[in-house]
Amino acid sequence: MLRKLLGLKPKASIYSQPMPQTEGALELTYLGTAGFILKNKQRTVVLDPYLSRVGVTELFRPLHTNTALLKKHIPHADDVLIGHAHYDHILDAPDLCKQTGARLIGSKATCMVGRAAGLPESQLKETAGREDIACGSWTVRGLPSIHGKAIFGRIPIPGDILSPPVWPPKLLDLKHGLVLNWLVDTGSLKIVHIDSADFIPEELQGLKADVVCLCAIGRKYRPNYVKEVVALLQPKWIIPCHWDTMFTHYEKEPDYIPSVDLAGFIQEIKDAGVEPIVMPMRGKQWFKVNNSDTK
């Protein structure tokens, strides 16, 4: 009944075929919403993990993390990067850091959420962006950005978090704060993560990325979204993210939101001359860590 009310449709068979795993390859796992795991033998960096995927009715009550799912599916992390502090980007991050000992890296709002959840200062790294942060042999850099107009042409739950919110939080407690796109430089591959469908062109100017993880929802409100990202970053591959409903259980197949027009997004990426890689939730892809143009 809920699917009919929301106008949801079953996913078409548009997932890309994963390439075989190769020795020394960078492993990328899609967690649904805007979440990813980047992993090699030396380092594991997690971006915007959100596995709890609370139901629609649960949004009106305090929000709780599904700690068992986190432990099962993300048993190890060295660093957790947060693009902005909305619940579907940050809710699970503090518990993941508690379980793994990872650092929580992000804006002031992100660190306030970490404090609210009981993380020690030793596991918090605040950044306003534009600085290179060492992550083992990798470096990460926050790129100041803006939140897209995702719902009816408006930015949802705007504002900042200037003190630790009540924990567990309610939906409206988790305002977006400073939005950061992330550049992850592994030394051989560069990945840019854009978790909301807008950006500041000047912050991307002069950068290049092999892979861009690109938010789908709300892109219709950003003219020339895909074309401009491609012109600025010149990626080889774009991985669409944040196209699903966020409400299905993590271990089930999610529906996509028809208004996102995932098929149209894929075509826009192709028309811009870039190869799209469409990954299922929990799906994996491997990228060679040399200068070759092949995965």
Asked whether the beta carbons of 129 and 79 are under 8 A apart, the reply is no
Question: Which H or E run contains 234?
Answer: none
Give the whole-angstrom CA distance, residue 82 versus residue 95.
14
Asked whether the beta carbons of 145 and 194 are under 8 A apart, the reply is yes
Give the whole-angstrom CA distance, residue 242 versus residue 234.
21
Mean pLDDT computed over 68-97? 98
Q: Is 9 among the domain residues?
A: no
Q: How confident is the model at residue 290 (pLDDT cuts 50, 70, 90)?
A: low
Q: Is 7 among the domain residues?
A: no
Q: Is 13 among the domain residues?
A: no
CB-based burial of residue 121 (10 Å sphere; 0-12 exposed, 13-18 middle, 19+ buried)?
Answer: exposed
Give the whole-angstrom CA distance, residue 207 versus residue 109.
26
E strands present in the chain? 26-32, 35-39, 44-47, 79-81, 103-106, 124-126, 132-135, 138-145, 179-185, 190-194, 211-215, 237-241, 275-276, 284-287
Q: Judging by DSSP bridges, how do beta strands 132-135 and 79-81 pair with one another?
A: unpaired
Q: Is 59 among the domain residues?
A: yes
Q: Is 112 among the domain residues?
A: yes
Q: Is 90 among the domain residues?
A: yes
What pLDDT is attached to residue 256? 81
CATH number at residue 50: 3.60.15.10
pLDDT at 291 > cutoff 70: no
How many other C-beta atoms lie within 10 A of the C-beta of residue 160? Answer: 13
> Comparing 58-67, 185-194, 223-232, 256-265, which segment has the lowest mean pLDDT?
256-265
More reliable by pLDDT, 6 or 287: 287
Q: Is 19 among the domain residues?
A: no
Report the chain's mean pLDDT, rounded to a whole number.
92
| pLDDT one-digit tens code per residue, 12-35 | 478 898 877 787 899 999 999 999
CB-based burial of residue 27 (10 Å sphere; 0-12 exposed, 13-18 middle, 19+ buried)?
Answer: middle
Task: State the residue range of the domain holding 249.
Answer: 25-281
**Partners of 30 in the beta sheet?**
36
**Domains held by the chain: number:** 1
Asked whether the beta carbons of 49 and 33 are under 8 A apart, the reply is no
pLDDT at 1 > cutoff 80: no
Q: Is 20 among the domain residues?
A: no
Question: Which H or E run contains 260?
Answer: none
Mean pLDDT computed over 215-242? 97
Mean pLDDT computed over 36-55? 97
What pLDDT is attached to residue 289? 66
**pTM across the whole model:** 0.93
What pLDDT is attached to residue 31? 98
Question: What letter would DSSP give residue 117?
Answer: T
Both ends of the chain: CA-CA distance in Å? 41
